């Protein structure tokens, strides 16, 4: 039974007063189901989702950055309520809260991606068709498409995971029954698999939105007028397209239009916040590298070429850091201390990559949540009055109409 319809029925019966209190209490106890859990929300859409045909919408969570309430005679500019400092603080808080669940999402998605890769390779080798060029090429394309889908589902699940965390803090949805007393419930692979599976209902529409957004940015910043500024502004206009699809259900041109509406007057704020977060991330990376260089100074001489080396050596060293050959050199000729420091450095790099990626996605989620809760429709434009010469011209053109029918 639809929970929303039951709420309307309960409210209507309470207002009419057609039955006595005892009968109503018994009726409501029989007909009103208990609030659905998150599992029921994901499967049936009874609470937390609104259905419009096949489109699922997740209602907005409450804002965490306080909204100022205007007193009598006071006017508050909602665009000045949000500051980069407040947004960064909220992004860091949510990134810390959702870090371990996001790592679980990545590992579960990676497991399924590698399962097809390794399992398919073994199967093709078992039936001895892995050396056939057509079969091998088709398999490579299928594996890459599957990996792309898994990465795409992680992207969607990151937004939904943040949303569920906010809703649990708001008290508007209950935790799962099997995790009621387990604070580590979101780190379980079962939970991650369920959230990733829910993204299958959204990935097609979000993929289309990404394509339209890319074409719009390219059209405005490259094809029509090749000015990078226009492309950057258009990119900021369409920065909220994905959360608009997930939490407001708008698709196609309406999605792009809605994102542009929300970003009106806030593009510089988002750009400034992005640069501040990038500066924080760069500072953390520089601090960690400097700390390792201070504690294990010989590690840098193995990973990097000496000072004054030719550009070819510098390029090879940089390529070795990316491909991993530089770390293999540490393992071949380095001491136990250098090997241990390298392993620790790689572990920290992986953790920071997870955290930074999550932080920039949380930035989009937080920005949409705070802006959408503050957004008000703009006032209608004032009626346009035609000048006298335009009125006379219009009167002559519409000669068959009476004077009172012609707009003044």
3-class secondary-structure state, position 174: strand
Higher pLDDT, 238 or 311: 238
Kindly tell me if the per-residue pLDDT of 400 is higher than 80: no
pLDDT, average across residues 123-143: 87
- pLDDT score recorded for residue 403: 56
- pLDDT score recorded for residue 34: 37
Which element (helix H / strand E) includes 123? helix 99-126
pLDDT, average across residues 238-247: 92
- pLDDT score recorded for residue 273: 94
Q: What is the pTM of this model?
A: 0.73
Q: What count of Cα atoms within 13 Å lies in the side-chain half-sphere of residue 128?
A: 0
Kindly tell me if the per-residue pLDDT of 55 is higher than 70: no
Q: How confident is the model at residue 321 (pLDDT cuts 50, 70, 90)?
A: low
- pLDDT score recorded for residue 338: 83
Burial of 97 (0-12, 13-18, 19+ CB in 10 A): middle
- pLDDT score recorded for residue 144: 93
- pLDDT score recorded for residue 211: 93
Structure tokens at 379: 């006032």
Q: Kindly list the distances between the CA atom of residue 131 and the CA atoms of 137, 244, 301, 389, in Å, as whole numbers in the listed order.
A: 10, 46, 43, 80
Domain-by-domain residue ranges, the chain? Answer: 3-57, 82-267, 269-374
Q: What is the mean pLDDT of the chain?
A: 76
Neighbours of 240 (CB within 10 A): 27
> Is the Cα torsion angle 280, 286, 287, 288 positive or negative in sign?
positive
Instruction: Name, in order, each residue with C-beta under 8 angstroms of 174's C-beta and a sequence gap of 6 or more.
Output: 35, 36, 37, 38, 168
Distance CA 48, CA 163 (A): 10
- pLDDT score recorded for residue 402: 62
Cα dihedral 272→275→281→282 (10° resolution): -140
The alpha-carbon radius of gyration of the chain (Å, integer) is 29
Q: How confident is the model at residue 352 (pLDDT cuts 50, 70, 90)?
A: confident
pLDDT tens readout for residues 138-185: 999 999 999 999 999 999 999 988 888 888 887 766 554 444 444 556
Which element (helix H / strand E) includes 52? strand 50-52
Kindly tell me if the per-residue pLDDT of 75 is higher than 90: no
Distance CA 408, CA 406 (A): 6
Q: How confident is the model at residue 272 (pLDDT cuts 50, 70, 90)?
A: very high
Phi then psi dihedrals of residue 51, to 5 deg: -105, 135
Q: How confident is the model at residue 111 (pLDDT cuts 50, 70, 90)?
A: very high
Neighbours of 15 (CB within 10 A): 8
């Amino acid at each position: 039974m639809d929970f929303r319809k039951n709420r309307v029925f309960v409210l209507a019966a309470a207002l009419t007063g057609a039955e006595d209190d005892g009968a109503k209490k018994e009726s409501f106890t029989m007909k009103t189901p208990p609030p659905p859990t998150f599992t029921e929300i994901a499967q049936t859409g009874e609470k937390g989702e609104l259905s419009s045909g096949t489109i699922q919408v997740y209602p907005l969570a409450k804002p965490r950055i306080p909204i100022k309430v205007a007193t009598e005679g006071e006017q508050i500019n909602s665009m000045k309520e949000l500051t980069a400092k407040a947004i960064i603080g909220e992004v860091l808080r949510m990134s810390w809260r959702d870090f371990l669940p996001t790592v679980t999402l990545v590992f579960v998605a990676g497991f399924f991606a590698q399962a097809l890769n390794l399992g398919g390779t073994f199967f093709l080798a078992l039936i001895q068709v892995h050396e056939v060029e057509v079969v091998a090429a088709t398999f490579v394309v299928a594996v890459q498409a599957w990996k792309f889908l898994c990465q795409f589902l992680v992207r969607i699940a990151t937004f939904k995971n943040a949303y569920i965390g906010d809703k649990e803090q708001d008290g508007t949805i209950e935790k799962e029954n099997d995790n009621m007393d387990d604070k580590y419930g979101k780190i379980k692979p079962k939970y991650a698999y369920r959230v990733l599976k829910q993204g299958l209902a959204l990935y097609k529409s979000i993929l289309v939105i990404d394509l339209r957004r890319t074409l719009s940015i390219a059209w405005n910043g490259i094809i029509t007028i090749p000015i990078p500024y226009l492309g950057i502004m258009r990119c900021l206009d369409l920065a909220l397209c994905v959360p608009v699809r997930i939490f407001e259900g708008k698709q196609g041109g309406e999605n792009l239009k809605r994102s542009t509406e929300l970003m009106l007057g806030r593009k510089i704020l988002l750009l400034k916040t992005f640069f501040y977060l990038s500066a924080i991330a760069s500072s953390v990376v520089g601090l960690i590298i400097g700390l390792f260089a201070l504690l294990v100074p010989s590690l840098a001489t193995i990973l990097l070429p000496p000072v004054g080396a030719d550009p070819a050596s510098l390029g090879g060293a940089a390529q070795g850091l990316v491909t991993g050959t530089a770390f293999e050199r540490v393992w071949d000729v380095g001491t136990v201390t250098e090997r241990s420091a390298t392993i620790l450095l790689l572990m920290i790099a992986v953790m920071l990559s997870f955290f930074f990626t999550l932080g920039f996605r949380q930035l989009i989620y937080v920005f949409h949540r705070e802006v959408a809760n503050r957004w008000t429709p703009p006032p209608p434009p004032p009626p346009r009055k035609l000048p006298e010469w335009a009125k006379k011209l219009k009167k002559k053109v519409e000669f068959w109409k009476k004077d009172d029918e012609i707009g003044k």
